Structures are given as structure tokens and as C-alpha cells.
Amino acid sequence: MLVLPTPAPQVELARELFFRQGQVPDAGISPLILRSWRRSQPVENRRIDPEPLGLALLQQRREQAMQLLRCAQPELDGLAEHAAASGCVVVLSDASGLILEEIGSPEFLPKAQQVALQPGVDWSEGSRGTNAIGTALAEGEALTVLGREHYLDQIGVIGCAAAPIFTGRGDLVGALDISGDASSIDAHALGLVRLAACQVEHRMALATARGDLLRFHLRPALIGTPREALVMVEDGRVVGANRIALELLQRVWSDVLDLEVEAVLGTRWNVLEHQRGLLTLPGGQQIAALAERARAVAGSVRPQTGGRQVETSDADDVVAPLLKQAVRVLDEGVAVLVTGETGSGKDLFARSLHAASRRAKGPLVAVDCASLPESLIEAELFGYEEGAYTGARRRGMPGRIREAHGGVLFLDEIADMPLSLQTRLLRVLEERCVTPLGGGKPQPVDFDLVCATHGNLAALVEQGRFRADLMYRVAGFQIRLPALRERSDRGALIERLLAELGGQRKGLRLSRTALAALVHYPWPGNVRELRSVLRTLVALCEQGQTIDAADLPLQGISPSERDVPPTQACASGTLVAITDRAVEEAMAQCGLNVADAARVLGVHRSTIYRHLAARRRA
């Protein structure tokens, strides 16, 4: 259902009654906005906007929402062109309302930042009152909030349209939003963001499906498109469905989840495997349908222990057996320590381990022990009570360990944890209770533990820099990830990552010589470096281009600078410098015209906008 805005004069009358006279308007304001105003009453009418999370903490939240980010990126790119043309920005938040990404019009970004509409800021109703992101998450509906419909006065200068994003089991995972001047947000913007949210849900359903998958619609031509209905089936039971399927079936999630599939789709649903045909539903309605094994659709996901998902491809013949072992151990409550060179994919392995474990439905809470200052890591891990120290939040903070309750705590670069805190962590692991700074009662916690390091814990113990008893706790089972140069599946991995990072969308392919050059490159930065190289290739290559060895931005592979255009040359091998120089040269060449610069580089305009926004934030 699309929720449209209330005319401005009626909003002002409603605000007069609600905010100044303490009365409940009986007309002139949307019931949805009124409900949100009521929920927002505990929110102070703050005049100082919140500061965004630091880059390290924001990156952790992005890593926790990695699947959402991957599935939403094509829609962010697609909406960016509309947003830029209309002087707006496109925003993606997680389920809590924290903004993860923001791209679009460089002209509107300063105004967005003036009201703290930027990555790392919480835009839930509990933090910012009535607003499109927070209210869409609270109501579970696509809606607009324009101007003075916002609860807080200082946000009343903008307009927003947002739509929630759901999993196939009806769980909220985030919201997609278009924000700009109030006059720029209309029913068209709301329709765009609602459609984009449905496309993100479709992409997420395919990425996570396992077992059997039924695609169907009343209109056969829509099967195989983002507008198709999807029902996921495992062991004869319905385990997921997208909102389009629920609309066609005239049901809600609670009516179909975990039921025998025949009760929902009829007894002949699986006769259609790998072929299209008509399916008669239990109520007599006929639909066009196609049933198939989900693995044929989502090649990036394959079932492992107990039918749970492992985010690794069939090409990963080196990593998949390690992951399978780690899942079995972690599910028995044994801590897993992941080691390997910097950039070898330890964080991705940890996310895959969580997704395949018994704690998959619980949170994955990641803490980078190397990125937090020693003065902050104690409060970050263990939390604190109100007034625990100068600068503490007024109501305190639970801490990352308590946030991991029911899920997995991932301590990245555990070797860098200060020695003074290792004793406290050991006590938590032994007692399964955490006491926040500033006192308070010990809080019980239940989580599985995954740690990672590129260092040698045993050597650190010998040097007196790491507690031996803690090492035995965190290294119950140790996995060493091979460096990229050691992996026998490099070729398949390179081609898969290129496709996932946008190469498939742009129709890019690697020539035999280019693939061979990438396979034989030593990759000192491991998988992290590989992903950066492939992202750069996707940004710089033309639609449908076959990438040759001369196009590769790697020292020792590409020709010398004098043999190639400046935008393809690589003197230092620093990929950020390559991208910065390419964009700057194209913008200068095109008189700062973003559309022309994008055509010169062979990229989407949103790529240029995202780069400019990132440079401005830096």
C-alpha cells in the first residue's frame, strides 16, 4: 500500500493541536503519521544532530549487512540517476535504521549532512522521531514523510520516500529511501523506491534459496523477472516467500511459513520441474509456474551442514572443506580461530561460518580489535552504565559482547587486544557473564566465538604479550586460510568475483591471456587486493567489453604508462590512486559534467557521484 502525503496547511493545523495544545487531531493528518508522532513523543526535540559512527564501527555494521548491501547495490545504482536529476539522494539503512550507504546529487548532499542524513547515523524513530526511514521500518509500509510531517523541527526542511525490505520469512532487514527537498518527493518517487525494494527482496531470495524454488505469476511473461512470485521449499515445507507471492496467494507469512507445501501450492506443484506449465492452487485458482532446484538459481550459495547455507561457491574447493569443518566445531560450542595473511578473507570466512552455523538466525557482532583505540575498546566490548566516564552516552551502552547474545561474536585481529583487557575477556568466556563499566549487575550472555588474526599467538605468548590461558580458549579449533597465490581455484574464483562485483551486469568477460595473467600474479594483498582490482576493472571498462591483459591495472601485468592512456596507466599499483586520477582527469576533460565524464570512463553516472561523495566525506 502506498501512503501519500497530507497537504501542508492541514499538517500545520495538526501540529498546532498536537504539539502546542496537547490534543489529538481527529482529521487533517494521516493516521500513520499520527501514530508515528505518538511513538516519537519520548524523543527529545534535539537541536544538535547526532554524530555518525566512526569509520571502523560503520564498516563493521556494513559487514554485518553484507548480503543486503550486495543485493541492494544494483538498485542504488539505478536510483542514483533519478536522484541526481531531481536533486535528491538515495539512502540504504539496515533494520535498526542505521544509514549504510548514501549516493546521488552532490548539490543536495550538504543539506543532507546538515540534518545528519548520512552514513553512520541512526534514523530509527527512537532516535530521529517521525521520518521516512524509521517510520517505514516501524510500520512495515512504503510511505512518504514531507516537511513538517517530520517530528523534529530541524528535519522539517526535507522530504523523504522510503520502503522497507523484507526477507522471505518476513523479517525486516533494512529500508531504501529517496530524500531531497520536500517539493522533489512525490508519488513517482515513492513508486520507484517501492519497486526497487521489491527487486532487492527478489535478489535476496534467489541468493539465499536452497532446496526447491517455485516461480509463478498470473502473467506467464513475468516469470524469470524481478516481478515474479517466489516460494522456497525445503524438505516438503514452505520456508520462505516474497511479498508478490503472498499477494497472489492472498496470504500473509504466518499463513504459509513451515506448512506442508501441498497445503499452500497443491499436490502437483513439483510436476513442473524445469518446465513451465499451469498449476492449480488448492482454492482452484490457476497460475503459470516453474519449479526448479534452488542451487541452479543461486550458484553462490550451496547447502552444507544440516541444510544451512554456506556463502561460498562450488569453485572454492580449497575453502569449502575448511568451512565445513569449522561449522561442525562451532556448532559444538568450540571457539574457532581463523588465521592467514592480511587480505586472505578471514572476515568473509567468519560471515560464512555464522551463516552456516546453528546461530545463523542470531546476530553476527564483529569487533576489529586493531582499529579501536585502547581507551575505547573496553567500553565497546563490555559496555557501560550511565555516567561511567566523561563523554559516555546518557543511558549507557550494552556493549558488543551483550549484543552478540544468541549469535556469534567475531573478534577480528584478536592479537591486538590490549593485555589489560585479555583478563576481562577470559573471565567472560569462563563465566558467560559480562559486567559493564561503572558497576551494575553481571549480565548473562550466550554466544559462540570466532576470532581471527594474521599474527602468531603462540609467539606472542612467548613474548608475554598474550595470555596463554586466553589463547587456549580462543583457539579451540584453528583454521588457516591459504593465501590467494596458494589456492588451486584461483581462476574460477577470479571469474566468479568479477561477475559478482558488476561484471555480469555490464557483460564483461576476461580474455584467456587476461585470466592467465591474473592467475599467475603473486597477489601480495590476497583476496582483498583481487576484489579491489576487479572493482576498478568494472568501473573503467565499457559495456560488453572483453578485458585483455593490457587492460589490467596491475604493476608487472599492464604495459608501461607511456603505452596506454592515463586513465589505464598504473605507476604505483595503488588502486585508489588509479580511480582518483581516472575520475579527476575525466571530470576535467568534460568541464565537470558528470554525465560526460561517466561516458568517457564507460561507467554509470552513480559511480562518479559515489566517488565525489566519498571524496567530500574524506
Instruction: Establish if 127 belongs to a structural domain.
Output: yes
Cα–Cα distances (Å) from 204 to 167, 190, 260, 568, in that order, read 7, 21, 23, 34
- Are residues 243 and 340 located together in one domain of the fold? no
- Are residues 28 and 171 located together in one domain of the fold? yes
Which CATH number characterizes residue 288's domain?
Answer: 3.30.450
pLDDT digits (tens, 9 = 90+) for 549-590: 888 876 545 433 323 333 333 333 444 555 666 777 777 776
Question: What's the gap between Cα 319 and its chain centre?
Answer: 23
Which CATH number characterizes residue 169's domain?
Answer: 3.30.450.40
- Are residues 169 and 227 located together in one domain of the fold? no
Q: Highest mean pLDDT range out of 315-329, 568-582, 590-604?
A: 315-329
Instruction: Establish if 10 belongs to a structural domain.
Output: yes
pLDDT digits (tens, 9 = 90+) for 65-104: 888 988 888 888 888 877 877 888 999 999 999 999 988 8
DSSP state of 502: I
Query: Given strand 142-146, what is the order of strands in its sheet?
Result: 2-3, 142-146, 158-166, 172-181, 89-94, 99-104
User: How many Cα neighbours within 13 Å face the side chain of 73?
Assistant: 14
Among 168, 200, 232, the domain-final residue is 200
- Are residues 343 and 246 located together in one domain of the fold? no
Query: With bands split at pLDDT 50, 70 and 90, how would you rate the model's confidence at 614?
Result: low
> What's the confidence (pLDDT) of residue 392?
42
Can you tell me the distance from the alpha carbon of 477 to that of 470, in angstroms, rounded to the nearest whole number?
A: 13
> What's the confidence (pLDDT) of residue 507?
87
Can you tell me the distance from the alpha carbon of 502 to that of 285, in angstroms, rounded to the nearest whole number?
A: 39
Is beta strand 336-339 parallel, antiparallel or unpaired with respect to 2-3? Answer: unpaired
> What's the confidence (pLDDT) of residue 298?
36
153 vs 610 pLDDT, higher one: 153
Instruction: Establish if 305 belongs to a structural domain.
Output: no
Using DSSP, state whether 89 is helix, strand or coil. strand
Please name every residue paired with 142 in a beta bridge, in sequence order, or none if there are none. 2
- Are residues 528 and 424 located together in one domain of the fold? no
For residues 299-323, average pLDDT? 50
Sole residue written with cell 524454488: 213
Instruction: Establish if 274 belongs to a structural domain.
Output: yes
> What's the confidence (pLDDT) of residue 279?
82
Amino acid in the structure at residue 583: V
Cα–Cα distances (Å) from 499 to 62, 151, 505, 506, 558, in that order, read 21, 43, 7, 9, 21
Cβ neighbours, 10 Å, residue 358? 16
For residues 297-321, average pLDDT? 46
Question: 3-state SS string over 582-594?
Answer: HHHHHHHHCCCCH
| Predicted structure pTM score | 0.52
Q: Would the pLDDT of 412 be above 50? A: yes
- Are residues 417 and 477 located together in one domain of the fold? yes
Can you tell me the distance from the alpha carbon of 472 to that of 570, in angstroms, rounded to the nearest whole number?
A: 45
Contacts of 447 (CB under 8 A, 6+ apart): 359, 362, 365, 401, 404, 405, 406, 407, 408, 409
- Are residues 317 and 399 located together in one domain of the fold? yes
How many structural domains are present in the chain?
4
- Are residues 468 and 420 located together in one domain of the fold? yes
Using DSSP, state whether 451 is helix, strand or coil. strand
Can you tell me the distance from the alpha carbon of 445 to that of 577, in angstroms, rounded to the nearest whole number?
A: 45
Please name every residue paired with 434 in a beta bridge, in sequence order, or none if there are none. 443
Instruction: Establish if 446 belongs to a structural domain.
Output: yes
Residues 339-354 as b/e (b if ≥16 CB within 10 A, e otherwise) read: bbbebbbbbbbbbbbb
pLDDT digits (tens, 9 = 90+) for 352-402: 999 999 998 888 988 888 776 666 777 778 877 654 444 444 455 778 888
Using DSSP, state whether 365 is helix, strand or coil. strand
Q: Would the pLDDT of 131 be above 90? A: yes
- Are residues 384 and 440 located together in one domain of the fold? yes
Instruction: Dump the DSSP string for 6-57.
Output: PPHHHHHHHHIIIIIS----SSSS-HHHHHHHHHTTTS---SSPPPPPPHHH
- Are residues 30 and 106 located together in one domain of the fold? yes
Query: With bands split at pLDDT 50, 70 and 90, how would you rate the model's confidence at 327?
Result: very high
> What's the confidence (pLDDT) of residue 265?
84
Can you tell me the distance from the alpha carbon of 353 to that of 198, in angstroms, rounded to the nearest whole number?
A: 28
Cβ neighbours, 10 Å, residue 16? 12
Among 297, 326, 349, the domain-final residue is 297
Instruction: Establish if 607 belongs to a structural domain.
Output: yes
Instruction: Dump the DSSP string for 319-331.
Output: HHHHHHHHHHHHT
> What's the confidence (pLDDT) of residue 86?
84
Can you tell me the distance from the alpha carbon of 144 to that of 185, in angstroms, rounded to the nearest whole number?
A: 8
- Are residues 448 and 516 located together in one domain of the fold? no
> What's the confidence (pLDDT) of residue 609?
67
Can you tell me the distance from the alpha carbon of 207 to that of 70, in angstroms, rounded to the nearest whole number?
A: 10
Question: 3-state SS string over 127-145?
Answer: HHCCCHHHHHHHHCCEEEE
Instruction: Establish if 205 belongs to a structural domain.
Output: no
> Which percentage of the chain shows pLDDT scores above 70?
80
Q: Is 387 left (phi over 0), alpha (psi -120 to 50) or beta?
A: left
Is beta strand 336-339 parallel, antiparallel or unpaired with respect to 477-480? Answer: parallel
Helices (H), 221-298: 243-249, 253-256, 261-265, 294-297
Among 252, 273, 297, the domain-final residue is 297
Mean predicted lDDT score pLDDT of the chain: 80
Which CATH number characterizes residue 599's domain?
Answer: 1.10.8.60
Residues 599-617 as b/e (b if ≥16 CB within 10 A, e otherwise) read: ebbbbbbbbbbbbbbeeee
Cβ neighbours, 10 Å, residue 10? 14
pLDDT digits (tens, 9 = 90+) for 498-515: 988 888 888 898 988 888
Which CATH number characterizes residue 459's domain?
Answer: 3.40.50.300
The domain in which residue 30 lies consists of: 2-53+76-200
Can you tell me the distance from the alpha carbon of 36 to that of 39, in angstroms, rounded to the nearest whole number?
A: 5
Question: What's the gap between Cα 393 and its chain centre?
Answer: 26
Extended beta strands in 369-427, E state:
408-412
- Are residues 110 and 185 located together in one domain of the fold? yes
Instruction: Establish if 306 belongs to a structural domain.
Output: no
CB 329 within 8 A of CB 336: yes
